Amino acid sequence: MKRLISICVSLLILALIYWRIDFQGLIAVFRNSNLPWMMISLGMVIPITMITAWRLQQLMPSTLSEAMVGAKVEPMGVNLPSEPRSESLTFLEANKLILAASSLNMVLPSKMGDIAKAYFMQERGHLTGAMALSLVVFEKTCDMLSLLLWCVFGLLLYPQGDWLFGVMTFSVGLGLVLGIAILSVPRFARSFFKVLQTIAPKKLKAKLGKMSYAWQDMHDYFWQDKWNLTKIALTSIFIWFLHLLQIWFFILALNAYAPFLTNLALSPLAILAGLLPLTFAGVGTRDAALILFYQPYFDAATGAALGLLCTSRYFLPAIGGLPFLEQYLSFAKQAKQKQG
């Protein structure tokens, strides 16, 4: 029901957008687009996915502590044994996991496809239970912090320094500081998980408790290897640089222009708007934010076209992950049958 409501909200926002703009102008924007730049910008999905898969490989611990082994998680409602298992994650397998999670993210609420990725990693023997879940949450936290970092960088250099952008700069900066504290200060992270357990529904309290312990193990693992931690951090920042560069290439493909540093400020804000749990895959809210933020640089029809291209950043990997999704879902079905 929630998914149906989010789809309806997305369709309503899109209907309002296309009602207020010149729809024929939107068609004309695509008709007059720069084909080479369009191919380059859409094709960037491939290297971004591959680098993200390589980072997932680097995130995998080489050894598992007893706390990691003993914890387990059932993100898809399947109870699995918690015996120690650890098999290396190949580059091909990492790509399959990333793409399959992208497919699930299009149909499951709140990026639950990434949570399902943790389950698949557990089932395939790469990690056990809560360790797999905490690794995925760690990965997504690195992504969010990298996005916030680029957003703060762009906003500090953004020429239109009115009160609205001042509030957004403060809010994004605060989120960045809190996120870094969760990753780097164990005591703060424990307090954070305790607060979550206090306000979370009863069914999630136990899982948050397990995840808190696994998070501590993950923290100890990464901080004992400063080089690997630095490599993960720099890779995450570079991945999001590529994401934002891709959006700038979309603008060039539409024969429009906005300064690249301005794009570093505005495109992350639009992406953050799309993360609000109101619409289907951010469709609608992200489009409206793009039209609003980029209105000093191009018209609403071009902004709407940019919104469609930004949506393709999520749909293309989702389509590419469909063949692998069936494979992983069959593993889940077999595991459930064994438990039954």
Copy the structure tokens of residue 192: 């954070």
Q: In 200-299, which ranges are continuous DSSP H helix? A: 202-223, 226-253, 260-274, 285-293
Share of the chain above pLDDT 70, in %: 85
Q: Within 13 A of 15's CA, how many CA atoms are on the CB side?
A: 6
- DSSP code string of 209-223: HHHHHHHHHHHHHHH
Strands in the chain per DSSP E: none
**The model's pTM:** 0.85
Q: Quick one: which of 314, 300, 329, 277 has its CA closest to 10? A: 277
Per-residue model confidence (pLDDT) at position 8? 86
Per-residue model confidence (pLDDT) at position 76? 41
Per-residue model confidence (pLDDT) at position 259? 94
Rounded mean pLDDT, 210-225: 76
pLDDT tens sequence across 315-340? 999 999 988 887 777 766 665 666 55
- Cα-based angle 322, 99, 240 (whole degrees, multiple of 5): 145
- The answer to which of 34-38, 79-83, 174-178, 212-216 has the lowest mean pLDDT is 79-83
Per-residue model confidence (pLDDT) at position 148? 94
